[in-house]
Chain A
Amino acid sequence: MTNAIGELEKDATAIFLIGTNTTENHPVIGYKIRKNVRENGAKLIVADPREIELAKMADVYMQFRPGTDVALLNGMMNVIINEGLLDKEFVETRTEAYEAFAQVVEKYTPEYVSPITGVAAEDIRKAARIYAEAERASICYAMGLTQHSTGTDNVKSCCNLALLTGNLGKPGTGVNPLRGQNNVQGACDMGALPVVFTAYQGVGIEANREKFEKAWGVKLSGQNGLTLTAAINKAHHGELKALLVLGENPMVSDPDLDHVEDALDNLEFLMVQDIFLTETAQRADVVFPGVTFAEKEGTFTNTERRVQRVRKAISNRGDARQDYEILCELSTRLGYPMSYSSPEEIFEEIRTLTPSYAGITYQRLEGKGLHWPCPTEDHPGTPILHKEKFNRGLGLFHAIEFREAAELPDAEYPLILSTGRSLFHYHTGTMTRRAVALDLHQPENEIQVNPATAAKLGIIDGEMARVVTRRGNIELKARLTDIVKENVIFTFFHFSEAAANVLTNASVLDPVAGIPEYKVSAARLEKIS
C-alpha cells in the first residue's frame, strides 16, 4: 500500500474498491471502511463482478463483466478528463507522459465502455465524479484486480487514475493493494522473488551483485530466475529437476492442478518443509517438519509495509525444528556453513543489506512496529509513500488499451468462472480446515450460481453440480444467489477435495507478472443426473 490502513477509517473522504471483497478477505480493513462510510459519510464506490457485502452500502456499485477492468477504469478517466475534474497542477508538476495516455483514453467514453463492461454509462460517470471530486480518495484492490492476463495493465490503470486526480502522497489517498497473506509483503521485501535481492535490488545489476557477493562471500548469478508458474512449466517439460518447497502448497494453490501434478511427478527430487502433510508434501521425497507462527520469533511485514514482531508462545512440537534452523542445517551440509543464534541475528544481517529496513531493530519494533522505508535508526518510518516525489522522480502515465481476457465464454463453455476466498477459510485450507470451528461452520466448497442460470439447467439450491472447463471438472454444491450475474459463477479455492484449481488455466499468464488468470475461465455448469 502507498498509504496506511488507519487512513481508510479516518482520512479518506472517498474510497474506491475494485476487485477486493474486503469484508471477507481483509475483515478488519472492511470494518474500518464501513465505519468511515457510516460515521463520517465517506463516499464508497465498489466495482466487482459479485455484489459483495460492501456493494450494498456503496454510493455507486458497478457490477462489471470479469476481465474488463481496463475498459472500466479508462471510462472513468475519460469522464474525469472531459469534465475537467483532473488535478491539473499535479499532472503538470508531478507526472509525465500524460499526452499519450490522454490520447488512448479519449475513445473510452462511458457509452463506448458500457457495452464492454455491462455497467450503465451513468454509473461510470457518477463513480468518476465521486472519486475525482473527493478531497482525499483512496483506491483499494486485491487479487480481483490482479489475477488476470492483463493484471499488470489493471494495476497501472489504477495508478493512472490516482495520478490524474492527484490522489497520492497525502493521507487518505493512494493506490492500495490489500495483500492476502500474513507475510507476502515481507517475502517480496526479502528477495524471495526470482529477479531481485532484498528491497527490490535487481539481480541483473552488477553493483547489487557485488554488494551481496561481498557480504555472502560467493560469486552470484546475474541471470533472472524462474517465477513459480514458470518453474512448474519447466518441471513439466523436464528442464527443472528439483524443487524445494517451504510452506507452500502448489497442489492446491496453483493453476491447472493436473498440470501441477504431472510437473511434480516429473521432478527427480521434491523437498517439502511444512507444518502438515499437505497435498504437496504427500508427493515429496523428503519432508521436514517446521513450526507454526506460535512457535517462532521473527517479523512479518503487513500490507501497509509495517514491520511487526512475531513472538514465540510455545515450544516446538515433537521433533519439529525452527524453520530457520532447518535452512541453516541444509546450507551447512551443502558446503556453506550457516549458523545464527536467533532470528534477531538474521535480522541484523538483513538490515545491513536492505536499505529500506536499515533503521529497523527488534527493539524499535516493540509496540507499534515501523513502516518501511526506514533507512536510519532515527528515522520514524514512512506510512505514506511518494509525498514529495516518486521513486523515479515524476509519476509515469501508461497509455493502456483494453484487452479481453484470454479465455472467453463460447457455446461449449458459456459461463465465466471466477475463484476466490471465503471469510471462514484461508488459502489452501492447510490451517483453517484443521481449525475445528471454522471447518465445522464451512465444511465444504460451493459454486455460486445465479438462480436464473440454475433454473435453466434444472439445478436446485444445495444440489451437487458439476463445473467443467477445458482443464477438468469438479463436483460441488450449488448455492443459488443473485450476488452473481447470470453469466458468472464463483467458487472458493480452499477445498482440496473439490479443488477450484483443477479448473483454472495455467497456459496464459500476465506477461509481466506471470500471474494466472484465476478470475476468468470459460466454464460450463452441468446437472448431475
Chain B
Amino acid sequence: MIKLTIDGKEIEVARGTMLLDACRQAGADIPTLCYDPDLRLAGSCRMCVVDVKGRPALVASCVAPAENGMVVQTESDDVVESRKIILELLAARHKFECPTCEKDGECKLQDYMYRYGVKESRYDGEGPHFGMEDPNPFIERDYDKCIMCTRCVRACDGITGAQAINVKDRGHHAKIAAPFDGKLADSTCVFCGQCIMVCPVGALSSKVAAGQGKPAQNKKVLTTCTYCGTGCTLELNVNNDRVVGVTSNRDENWSPVNKGALCVKGRFGWDFIHSPDRLTTPMIRENGGLRPASWDEALDFAAGKIKEIKEKYGPDSLAMFSSARVTNEENYLAQKLMRAVIGTNNVDHCARL
C-alpha cells in the first residue's frame, strides 16, 4: 500500500493504482472524456489533469500511477484554467445542436462546459466539416460533434473485437473512419453499437431510436434480452408507455453476463414491440377466415373444443408446443395445464429446432 494526500485528505491505495482512481477514492469528482475503465487507456483528452506538488506540469491522472507521498490538488486554479481551455478547444470543433441532439441531457461535453462556465470558445472559426451519410440503418455518425476521444475505436477493438474503425488523418482533419473512409457495412463492423454506448457526446447515436425521446425523458427498465440464450441484460427506454430505445448498463453487478455489451439484435432489434402487426384481439376461424372475437367467446370456444376432443379421443390426442421464448413461469403453467388439467405428457417446445 502507498499513502498520498489528495485535496488535503490522506488516503492509502494499493501500489499500481492510477492517480485518477486514487482521486476518486478520495472523493474528488474528476471530469473525464476519453477515460473508460473497461478500455485501453488513451490519456488524450487531458480533462482529468490534476496538480501534483513538485511537478512542473499538470498530470493526466488517468495514465499516471499514484506514488507514495504525492500531494495532489484536483481543482486548483491551474487545473480549472487548463480544463476550461480544453473545453474551449473541443467546443471550437463541436457542432452544437443541443436542442435536437439525442444526447442532450446526458452529454459529457455539455455537463463539463456547464460545470466550468465555458459559454463560448476563443478558438471558434472555420473548422473542418464531415459528411454524415452512412447508409447503414443502425448507427448515425455525425463527426461534426466528435471530440476525438477515441472511446468508440477502443470499444470496437477491446469489447467487440471487430476493429472496424480507427483514427484517419491528423490534426484538424482527424476523424474516426472505417477503412478507406468507406461505409461501415463494407468494414468488419457488426453493428453492435458498443461505439454508441461509450460515446460521451452525440457523435454516435441510434437511428432506430432517433427522435423518440431524450435521455432525461425516458425511464429505463432493466430486463433480459429476448433473443439468443446468452442472457444479456439491457435497458428498455420507455417514454409515454412506449419502448423508444435500448441502452445498456455497464455495471457488472446489474449486467452480469454482458457488462453492457450487446449485439445488433439486442441494441437495434426492439421496434417489433410496436409493430402495427401486433395481435391485439382474440380471433376465431369462421368461414375460412379469422374474425375478431371477445376474450370470453374465444376462451369458451377453445375450452369447448379441447373438452370435446379429450372426451372423444382421450387426453393423448392433444399436445402442446410450449415456448423457449416465454418465461419460466409461463412454461411451468403450460406443462401444468397439459399434465394436470388435460391429463397428458404431450408437451414439448422447440429446444430441438
CA of A426 to CA of B226 in the docked complex: distance in angstroms? Answer: 10
Best-surrounded residue of B219, B263, B264, B351 (most CB of chain A within 10 A): B351
Q: Does A188 contact B (CB under 8 A)?
A: yes
The 8 Å CB contact of B280, one of A26, A234, A315, A319, is: A319
Question: Contact between A441 and B191 (Cβ–Cβ < 8 Å)?
Answer: yes
Binary CB contact string for chain A from 160 to 192 against chain B (1 if under 8 A, 0 otherwise) = 000000000000000000111111111111111
Known A181-B350, A246-B320: A26·B228 in contact at CB below 8 Å: yes
Knowing A334-B342, A431-B269, A432-B272, say if A241 contacts B349 (CB, 8 Å).
no
Given contacts A5-B230, A242-B318, whether A441 and B295 have CB atoms under 8 Å apart is no
Task: State which of A181, A289, A298, A327 has its C-beta within 8 Å of the C-beta of B337.
Answer: A327
Q: Write out the residue numbers on chain B whose beta carbons fall within 8 Å of the beta carbon of A288.
A: 282, 298, 302
B227-274 CB contacts (< 8 Å) to partner A: 227-233, 236, 238, 241-243, 252-254, 256-258, 261-265, 268-274
Residues of the A chain whose Cβ atoms lie less than 8 Å from the Cβ of B226: 182, 292-293, 431
- A314/B238 contact (C-beta < 8 A), A183-B328, A329-B295, A334-B307 known: yes
The segment out of B13-21, B29-37, B52-60, B308-316 that lies at the interface is B308-316
For residue A426, give the distance in angstroms from its CB to the closest CB of chain B. 5
With an 8 A cutoff between CB atoms, is A302 at the interface? yes
Q: Chain A residues near B302: list those with CB within 8 A.
A: 271, 286, 288, 330, 333
B167 at the interface (CB under 8 A from A): no
The CA-CA distance from A479 to B263 in the complex, in Å, is 24
Which residues in A have their C-beta under 8 angstroms from that of B328? Answer: 183, 186-187, 189-190, 298-301, 307, 347, 350
Interchain CA distance A432-B269 in the complex, whole Å: 6
**Partner of B264 from A193, A239, A427, A438 at Cβ < 8 Å:** A438
Within 8 Å CB of A240, what residues of B?
Answer: 317-319, 346
Note all chain A residues with C-beta closer than 8 A to B323.
Answer: 183, 187, 192, 246-248
With an 8 A cutoff between CB atoms, is A153 at the interface? no
* A285-B352 contact, Cβ under 8 Å, with A225-B347, A302-B257, A303-B229: no
Q: Which residues of A contact B351 (CB under 8 A)?
A: 179, 184, 187-188, 193
Contacts of B293 in A (CB 8 A): 286
Confirm or deny: B301 has a beta carbon within 8 angstroms of a beta carbon on chain A. yes
Complex Cα–Cα for A231 and B261 (A): 39
Q: Given the complex, which residues of A lie within 8 Å of B319, measured CB to CB?
A: 225-226, 231, 234, 240, 242-244
Cβ A286 vs Cβ B345 within 8 A: no
Cβ–Cβ < 8 Å partners of B309 in chain A? 241-242, 268-269
* Smallest beta-carbon distance A228→chain B, Å: 4
Q: Least Cβ distance of B289 to chain A in Å?
A: 10
**How many B residues have CB within 8 A of the partner chain?**
114
Interface residues of A in 1-52 (CB under 8 A from B): 5-6, 23, 25-31, 34-35, 38
In the complex, whether B176 has a CB less than 8 A from a CB of chain A is no
Q: Which residues of B contact A327 (CB under 8 A)?
A: 330, 333-334, 337
Which A residues lie within 8 Å of B318 (CB)? 240-244
Contacts A182-B324, A254-B353, A441-B136 given: A241-B317 contact, CB under 8 Å? yes
With A286-B301, A311-B222, A330-B302 as contacts: A426 and B228 at CB distance below 8 Å: yes
CB A429 to nearest CB in B, in angstroms, measures 10
Q: Quick one: which of A184, A212, A269, A282 contacts B324, CB cutoff 8 A?
A: A184
Q: How long is the Cα–Cα vector from A290 to B322 in the complex, in angstroms?
A: 13
Query: What is the chain A residue whose CB lies nearest that of B276?
Result: A434
State in angstroms the CA–CA spacing of A247 and B321 once bound together. Answer: 8
B254 touches A334 (CB 8 A): no
Within 8 Å of chain B (Cβ to Cβ): is A312?
yes
19 more A-B residue pairs beyond the given contacts A192-B334, A275-B279, A294-B270, with a C-beta to C-beta distance below 8 A: A187-B328, A187-B351, A195-B345, A231-B348, A248-B350, A276-B275, A286-B282, A300-B327, A304-B231, A307-B328, A314-B238, A317-B274, A321-B295, A323-B330, A327-B337, A333-B303, A347-B329, A431-B272, A438-B264
Can you list 30 A-B contacts (CB < 8 A)?
Answer: A25-B228, A27-B264, A29-B230, A38-B161, A181-B324, A182-B226, A182-B228, A186-B331, A187-B323, A212-B339, A225-B347, A244-B319, A246-B334, A248-B321, A250-B350, A269-B305, A269-B309, A276-B275, A286-B284, A287-B298, A311-B222, A314-B236, A320-B279, A327-B330, A327-B334, A334-B337, A350-B332, A369-B231, A431-B226, A514-B352
